[in-house]
Amino acid sequence: MDADKYLGQLRVFSRLIAMKRREAEMWRNVALGSASGMDADRVQASPNQDRMADAVSRAMDYEKAAEALTRQLINLQHEIVEKLDNMPTTDYGILLSDYYVHGMTVQEIAAEWNYSWRHVQRMKVDALKEFAEKYGES
């Protein structure tokens, strides 16, 4: 896996977590919709109750999946931050951290650092090369 893909896993995990949470929210809403149509006087199981139970179960499954992905993201983030903190060129570590860990764009980094976006893009390429050389992510 190349350095860009390795570091980019942070964004992938974040998007996957957001997707799982949206799905959980959707299934919670389905469960609430099923519950609102229930007749309070009826006690026996009905298709509405079955749908609600299924929706609640699905919501819980998506929440569990999001929690598992969050744990993986936290572990990966700690691993990556430690590697970036130990980059030979400090500015490269900071740049890659701003971009991959903090989710800043090249343009945002350029504005913050008072550099042109082209210069920051060149620095990013050099930083990825240095990262790959140090950590074997080619």
- Does 136 score more than 90 pLDDT? no
Q: What is the pLDDT of residues 36-83, one digit of tens each?
A: 544 444 444 455 678 888 999 999 999 999 999 999 999 999 999 999
Q: Residue holding tokens 């229930």?
A: 38
Q: Identify the domain containing residue 112 by its residue range.
A: 3-135
Question: What per-residue confidence (pLDDT) applies to 50?
Answer: 81
Q: What is the pLDDT of residues 103-124, one digit of tens each?
A: 999 999 999 999 999 999 999 9
- pLDDT band at residue 31 under the 50/70/90 scheme: confident
Listed in sequence order, the residues at least 6 apart from 4 whose beta carbon sits closer than 8 Å to its beta carbon are 128
Q: How far is CA 27 from CA 32, 52, 57, 65, in A?
A: 9, 9, 9, 14
Q: Across residues 8-19, what is the average pLDDT?
A: 95
Question: What per-residue confidence (pLDDT) applies to 48?
Answer: 66
* Coil/strand/helix, residue 38: coil
Number of folded domains in the chain? 1
Q: Across residues 76-97, what is the average pLDDT?
A: 96
Listed in sequence order, the residues at least 6 apart from 126 whose beta carbon sits closer than 8 Å to its beta carbon are 92
Entry pTM: 0.78
d(CA 73, CA 79): 10
- Does 25 score more than 70 pLDDT? yes
- Does 35 score more than 80 pLDDT? no
- Nearest by Cα to 30 from 55, 61, 59: 55
